[in-house]
Amino acid sequence: MKTYKCEYLWLDGYKPEPNLRSKTKVLDLNESPLLDNLPLWSFDGSSTLQAEGNFSDCILKPVKVYNDAGRDNGYLVMCEVLKPDQTPHISNNRANYEDDTEFWFGFEQEYVIKKNGLPLGFPKEGYPEPQGKYYCAVGKQNVTARDFVEEHLALCLACGLKITGINAEVMIGQWEFQLLAKGAKNAADDLWVARYLLMRVAEKYDVEIDFHPKPIKGDWNGSGLHTNFSNERMRTNGGKAYFEMILKNMKENHEDHIKYYGSMNNERLTGLHETQAIDRFSYGVSDRGASIRIPLSTIENGWKGYLEDRRPASNACPYQVVSKLVKTVSVEAMAV
């Protein structure tokens, strides 16, 4: 028998976006932690806006287990929140849609690293030089916090997350990581865990992670959660007619998608800074100013591949983003 430190992760009941919460359960097990041998665990929902004080227990149900490379004998346990009768809690967005393992998602998570309320690289008064030379830059005058970003990348990879890339973004102090995952629920689980690890590393460096879609007002890029997506038919059979039907249905459901794509997104989706206006829907080949970008590779491969939804904000809940895309694309699969 061996002792394991299992960090149970869940999303609280705060709105408009939930916060990550976690606590450690120490378990003596005959084998490594798995969904089959991890118990349900309760927590005080009155402290997370998920219950009243006079009936405060909520239940954590493990749904995915990861190695925690940052702790000896450690594991990360992503959980759904249940009510005491073990039905899904109202805050449990993961339980609100059916899984679809044919879908692949490539998230581009942008974020800003701050210290004392300012992005790293910003002076205490005024502004740094205008954006332009910070994107994918090198050099102390153009890039901040590379050691922090590298540590997060190494930790995610060691924990089993498929991070496919990192880069400094358009505003100084702004970075992005890309994450690829397969399955409608698995992908969202992975992104939440990557966010958790990002904030945990930030504690060590005494900095804050800001997911606000417009962290600095003015002539500065906002932060998004660009979401690349495909199902089996898009990747293997494709066809221009099929992709056009998907895009048509996405246009018809634009307002509904926007509702679930993150709060304060109107400050980011203005039609400037590589965005389309929030009240408009557009798509175009290699167009980063459109709502949906059609990659050149998809066209060159005979209309087979993926699409990029550029509308989700950096603070969006991936469970909600994924559920909307799966529903919209799946409806079109029956039409062509």
pLDDT in tens, 177-208: 999 999 999 999 999 999 999 999 999 999 99
Neighbours of 150 (CB within 10 A): 11
Helix (H) or strand (E) holding 296: helix 296-300
110, 119 Cβ separation under 8 angstroms: no
Low-confidence ranges of the chain (pLDDT < 70): 332-336
pLDDT at 121: 96
Report pLDDT for 237.
Answer: 95
Phi, psi angles (nearest 5°) of residue 322: -60, -45
| CATH number, domain 104-333 | 3.30.590.10
- Taking the C-alpha atoms of residue 289 and residue 283, their distance in angstroms, rounded to an integer, is 9
**Domain map of the chain by residue range?**
2-92, 104-333
Q: What is the phi/psi pair of residue 108, to 5°?
A: -115, 95
Cβ-proximal residues to 65 (8 Å cutoff; 6+ apart), any chain? 33, 34, 35, 38, 75, 76, 77, 78
pLDDT of residue 252: 97
pLDDT of 54 reads 84
Q: What is the pLDDT of residue 84?
A: 96
CATH C-level class of 2-92:
alpha beta
Q: How far is CA 72 from CA 23, 91, 147, 154, 319, in A?
A: 16, 32, 22, 16, 30
* Res 55: pLDDT: 86
Q: Is the pTM of this model over 0.95?
A: yes
